[in-house]
A = this chain, B = another copy of it.
Amino acid sequence: MEKIEKFNEKYYHILKVIAQKMGDEKTLRITSGELALLTGMSQQNASRLILEMENEGIIDRKISGRHQNISITESGLDILYGEFAELSQILGIGKSTSICGTVQSGLGEGRYYVAKKPYLIQFNEKLNMIPYPGTLNVKVDNNDEKTLRHIRARKGILIEGFSSDDRTYGAVKAFKCNIKGVECALIFPYRSIYRDVLEIISHIYLREKLNLEDGDSVEIKFDI
């Protein structure tokens, strides 16, 4: 059932050019002819690729009159950050990095999920950690959003999902990390869109051990 992520070669090049041209803006007003020039293809082909990418959910378009405003969707960003992460791994660059953020209160959901037995067994086996039943929620600083996207795009450690009587629990992606020297792990739902709030687990109660309160700044260090 798990579909193998195929590197979307067809759209990769033009997507890269769009991202480059966008710079720090969120949308880009560009004609298919300009894109054709930038990519070295024909206007017709650029137009066709744009249509296809829109259908595939890689980009969004707002057409106003004869012009189009293009933005890149989360799915499109995943392609770019995924490729970057893959190259980082292959070339062995940027193995250690860190993300800064602010402690905040979660909704208490973390505690519920983390405590499920099938997850616990895997946390123990794959992370060598029996987590304290609860997660530390950290809102990522805006400056480190890009770093988070980079980490998210990496393979990480797969914690498999499972089904209980009533419902299914999705797969989780984990990354070992540390806060002020305390070993912990960042966990994401395996399939999810980008969120700027991290959930951190550890074998101990991080808030107490590190004396953390809502609003405190923390630096989460990764060695991947």
Contact = CB atoms under 8 A, between A and B. Distances in A.
Interface string A32-47: 0000000010000000
Contact of A80 (B81, B84, B90): B90
B13 A9 contact: yes
Interface stretch (A48-56, A91-99, A114-122, A204-212): A91-99
Given A6-B40, A80-B87, A87-B80, A93 B13 contact: no
Contacts of A86: 16
Interface in A1-17: 4, 6-7, 9, 12-13, 16
A12 to B, nearest CB: 8
Contact of A90 (B20, B90, B150): B20
Contacts of A87: 16, 80, 83-84, 87
Interface residues of A, number: 28
Interface in A59-99: 80-81, 83-84, 86-94
A174 interface: no
Interface string A145-167: 01101100000000000000000
What 8 A-B pairs have minimum CB-CB distances, sorted nearest first? A84-B87, A20-B90, A19-B90, A93-B146, A92-B146, A93-B150, A84-B91, A94-B94
A10 B16 CA distance: 16
Contacts of A83: 87
A176 to B, nearest CB: 20
Given A9-B9, A84-B84, A16 B93 contact: no
13 contacts: A6-B40, A9-B9, A9-B12, A9-B13, A19-B90, A83-B87, A84-B87, A84-B91, A84-B93, A91-B149, A91-B150, A92-B146, A93-B94
A118 to B, nearest CB: 31
